[in-house]
C-alpha cells in the first residue's frame, strides 16, 4: 500500500527545474518507492546495492551511463560518487531537465560531492519517515504556531489520545511498519534495520572497526535523545575517546539517523548555554535501542518526556523537509535555567514552542518566552505542544496545541 508523500510536489518542481534530482535520507524511509511512484515506469532504474552494477559504475562509469540511459533513477549513489562528474558532462551536453534522479542513504561526503560536481545542476531534498500528516492523509504545511496554520490543521487532523501518541512513538515512522498490510514485528524489524545500518553503511562506508563498540554507542546516544549534547559524558560511558565520540555522532547525523539543534544566539543575552541538543529522528529506532518493549512501558518510564519531545521535534522537522525547505529550528537555555524547547526563526520573526507531555500545561510553561522580547527581536505567536485534547488559548499570543495537530 503506497501512502502519498507530502514531498511529492517539491520533487516534481525540482525535477522540472534541474537536470539532476538528489533525494537523501536514512535507509527504509521510502526514497526509491517515492521516485518510482512519481516516475510511473517511465524511467530506467538501477541500484548500486547490487554488487555487479556497483562494480560497473566504479570501474566503467561511461559504460554504466550508456547501459542505464536517462531518464534514469540511480539508487544509493553514495556507493559510486565517481559517477557524479560523468553525469555532469552528460547533462552539460544534453541539458534536459530531470534526466537523473539519484537517491543516497548516506551523506558522509555525498552532499559535498554533489554540490561540487553538480553545482547549479542539482536540486537536493531530504526525506524522513512518514509524518502524522501523511498517515492521516491530510495536507502538510511547514509548522508554525500561528492561528492560521493551526486552525486549518485542526479541521483536518485526526484526534489522538495519550496512548495513541505512545503507540506512534514506539512504532516509529518507517513505512514498512505502517504501510504494509502484513506489518512485521517491531522488535524484529528494528533488529534487522540496525544490523543493516551497521554492516552496509557504517562498516562499509566509514571503516568503523569495532562494531560492538559502535552498537554500544548507538544505544548510549539513543538514551540521550532530547538532551543537551555532552561529548565527554558520552565518550566516558562507552569507554572511547572524545574525538571518536564526535566522529561517530557525526555519522549518525550525516546518515539521517539523528539531528543536532543548535542554540539560538543573541548578542544581547549573555548567560546563554551554547551546547547543542541531540535528537534521534525515528522514535521507534530509539525505543528499540534503549530496550523498551511496549508503548505502555515507554509511556510509564523515566524517558517518556524525552521521547515525547523527540517525537514532536521530528514531526515539526518533517513538515519543513516535506515542503522542500530546511527546518529553521533552534532552542534556548541559559544559566538561570530558563529554557525554550524550540524556536522557529523565519521571515525575521521568532516563534517559540514548548513541548510538554502534560495534558493541562499552565502559564508557567510559557514563562521563558518573554526572554526573546528582551533580545530586541520580533516575536510571533507561540504555543505549548502537549497531550491536551483541545486546541485553546493560554493568553492573547500563545496557545495549547494538541500533539495530533503538529
Tell me the domains of the chain and their CATH numbers.
Answer: 8-126 (3.40.50.300), 132-405 (no CATH)
Residues 6+ apart with CB under 8 A from 66: none
DSSP 286: H
Residues 6+ apart with CB under 8 A from 89: none
- Report the alpha-carbon distance of residue 299 to residue 153 in Å, rounded: 26
Residue 109 pLDDT: 58
Residue 399 pLDDT: 97
The sheet carrying 258-261 orders its strands as: 227-228, 277-280, 258-261
* Grid coordinates given for 160: 489522538
Residue 203 pLDDT: 67
Residue 210 pLDDT: 76
Burial class (CB in 10 A: 0-12, 13-18, 19+), 271: exposed
Local confidence pLDDT in tens for the 406 residues of the chain: 789 999 999 999 999 999 999 999 998 999 999 999 999 878 899 999 899 999 999 999 999 999 999 999 999 998 898 999 999 999 999 878 999 999 988 665 566 667 677 888 999 999 999 999 999 999 999 999 999 999 999 888 889 999 999 999 999 999 999 876 677 899 999 999 998 877 677 766 666 767 788 889 999 999 999 999 999 999 999 999 999 999 889 888 888 899 999 999 887 777 788 899 999 999 999 999 999 999 999 999 999 999 999 999 999 999 999 999 999 999 999 988 899 999 999 999 999 999 999 999 999 999 999 999 888 889 999 999 999 999 999 999 999 999 999 9
Asked if residue 321 lies in contact with residue 327, where contact means CB atoms within 8 angstroms, the answer is yes
Mean pLDDT of the chain: 91
Residue 377 pLDDT: 84
Q: Are strands 258-261 and 329-333 parallel, antiparallel or unpaired?
A: unpaired
Residue 111 pLDDT: 62
- Report the alpha-carbon distance of residue 405 to residue 402 in Å, rounded: 6
Q: Is 6 helix (H, G, I), strand (E, B) or coil?
A: coil
List phi, psi (to 5°) of 353. -135, 125
Residue 107 pLDDT: 62
Residue 381 pLDDT: 97
Enumerate the H helices of 197-230 as residue ranges: 204-206, 211-222
**43 to each of 40, 113, 211, 353, how far by Cα in Å?**
8, 24, 38, 43
Amino acid at each position: 500500500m503506497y501512502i502519498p508523500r507530502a514531498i511529492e510536489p517539491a520533487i516534481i518542481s525540482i525535477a522540472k527545474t534541474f537536470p539532476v534530482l538528489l533525494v537523501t535520507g536514512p535507509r527504509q524511509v521510502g526514497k526509491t518507492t517515492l521516485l518510482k511512484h512519481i516516475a510511473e515506469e517511465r524511467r530506467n532504474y538501477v541500484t548500486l546495492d547490487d554488487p555487479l552494477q556497483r562494480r560497473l559504475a566504479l570501474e566503467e562509469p561511461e559504460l554504466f551511463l550508456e547501459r542505464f540511459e536517462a531518464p534514469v533513477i540511480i539508487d544509493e549513489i553514495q556507493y559510486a560518487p565517481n559517477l557524479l562528474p560523468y553525469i555532469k558532462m552528460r547533462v552539460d551536453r544534453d541539458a534536459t531537465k530531470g534526466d537523473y534522479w539519484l537517491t543516497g542513504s548516506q551523506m558522509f561526503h555525498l552532499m559535498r560531492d554533489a554540490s561540487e560536481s553538480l553545482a547549479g545542476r542539482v536540486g537536493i531534498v531530504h526525506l524522513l519517515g512518514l509524518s502524522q500528516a501523511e498517515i492521516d492523509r491530510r495536507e502538510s504545511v511547514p509548522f508554525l504556531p500561528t492561528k492560521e496554520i493551526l486552525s486549518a490543521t485542526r479541521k483536518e487532523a485526526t484526534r489522538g489520545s495519550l496512548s495513541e501518541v505512545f503507540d506512534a512513538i514506539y512504532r516509529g515512522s518507517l513505512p514498512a511498519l505502517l504501510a504494509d498490510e502484513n506489518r512485521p514485528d517491531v522488535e524484529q524489524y528494528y533488529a534487522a534495520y540496525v544490523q543493516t545500518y551497521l554492516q552496509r553503511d557504517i562498516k562499509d562506508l566509514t571503516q568503523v572497526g569495532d562494531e560492538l563498540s559502535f552498537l554500544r554507542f548507538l544505544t548510549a546516544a539513543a538514551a540521550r535523545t532530547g538532551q543537551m549534547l555532552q561529548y565527554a559524558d558520552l565518550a566516558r560511558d562507552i569507554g572511547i575517546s572524545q574525538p571518536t565520540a564526535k566522529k561517530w555522532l557525526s555519522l549518525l547525523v550525516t546518515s539521517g539517523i539523528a539531528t543536532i539543534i543548535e542554540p539560538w544566539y543573541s548578542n544581547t543575552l549573555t548567560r546563554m548555554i551554547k551546547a547543542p541538543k541531540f535528537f534521534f529522528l525515528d522514535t521507534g529506532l530509539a525505543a528499540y535501542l534503549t530496550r523498551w518493549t511496549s508503548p505502555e512501558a515507554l509511556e510509564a518510564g523515566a524517558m517518556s518526556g524525552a521521547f515525547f519531545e523527540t517525537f514532536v521535534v521530528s514531526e515539526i522537522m518533517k513538515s519543513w523537509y516535506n515542503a522542500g525547505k530546511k527546518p529553521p529550528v533552534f532552542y534556548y537555555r541559559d544559566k538561570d535555567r530558563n529554557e525554550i524547547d524550540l524556536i522557529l526563526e523565519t521571515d525575521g520573526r521568532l516563534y517559540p514552542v514548548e513541548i510538554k507531555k502534560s495534558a493541562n500545561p499552565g502559564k508557567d510553561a510559557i514563562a521563558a518566552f518573554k526572554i526573546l522580547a528582551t533580545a530586541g527581536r520580533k516575536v510571533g505567536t507561540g504555543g505549548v505542544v502537549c497531550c491536551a485534547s483541545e486546541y485553546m488559548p493560554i493568553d492573547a499570543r500563545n496557545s495549547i496545541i494538541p500533539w495530533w495537530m503538529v
